[in-house]
Structure 1
């Protein structure tokens, strides 16, 4: 089954029109070598090899920034498959849509030498026609984002059909899908109001140029929010569970934290975690007893109908 990706073509979509006219998507990231023989099946191996190369070319950047850029480069060159669908913002409120036609190619001497051939469709998608959830996903900061969970809506938009609102949960760790439907914008709300939360007093959501610590990729899945302490000495992994979460989320966040500690964190940085859910239970409390570097926060959602 084909996947769907949103790909930014240069800062501010500066290369979008050129890519459409010449039939490709591309990236650079200051890695100016042919990657044809350096694209392993696992992006983690790619990052291990190329993060030092990126940092050597950009000594002022952090390992987080390097990890995001190298991960995005691997996705463009290898992770995206022939037949997958690309959405790229044109910088004017619409999205170019195309289908990937070729494997990786290296074109030396251009700003975006790492390329994939794309058959761009004649039709564009207007951002105003998207659901709020899809707008948030396609509008997130970052070079590449996987948006296949909006497959049904995207297929309708490509065909010119109006989107149909769908409120479902496909997350098996969520024990109350009915509550999930009401709270589907929890992540958007938390990001938008981060500075007003208790976490916002000590941590900032990671952000550097076109990189943003939301849906941060790891080899076991994306981290909901990646934050960093204001003194830069601690990296915080935030996992959101809409509704009542099971204790399996503890193992999930520990996997994410292990990845950050091994691959991303600097030597002086410690890694902590926060789980945010509607409520805890005995199982989560027991699991957290032996995980002192993970905290649990409850949230409240209110929905009132007031007779006029």
Structure 2
């Protein structure tokens, strides 16, 4: 098994490491203390090309693969965990749309994510009574003329208040069939859509420079073209997205642990006990 990094992977690792050391790490503590969202930092990461590491090149992505993505995530997480989680979710949204979206959806949303025109993407799956469990979902999408009407609540949504586009899961089956994972579909909802309201902002112990909010959908209309994938494909899309998301979470953990070890080592070397 060859575990050597290729040229593209090394370039992404070194460029993100340099950017993190110069532009992210020096500001991380203050951003966390003030719970200030890192808009400028995220734009810089988009300019580096790492807001769509696994996204096809024709959509503005790096198309560099999972290893490159993990390397980029580790470097950012070493400097700021809040920035890393926002970056991870945005990458996940771009990959989901590029994988399951039709050409119009791909062209409308993905280049804006990779270029930083959208500040971030959001992944609206969790609910007050469901967590990341699609089978327990209660948010409903009802068919109306020209599209769908969304009604329900989402909770703990990363970047839900700043996202240019969010992937939203809802039930599209009838009331008699609404148990379990069947009958769940996926929709693309742009920020500011009428009927979409941002609710409670979580006051977190950590990751305070990332945004975690509740979302309410009250007769929120989206056109037929907002359906992502086929009708009833929502569970499949969620499982694929969460599989990829675990790479991001694990990479962030390694990056944070690496930074913690380095800080502990430096403290031990610098400390004057007697």
Q: Quick check: TM above 0.5?
A: no
> TM-score, normalised on structure 2?
0.32
Q: State the structure with bigger RCO (CA 8 A, min sep 6), 1 or 2.
A: 2
> TM-score, normalised on structure 1?
0.30
Structure (1 or 2) with the greater strand fraction: 1
Structure (1 or 2) with the greater helix fraction: 2
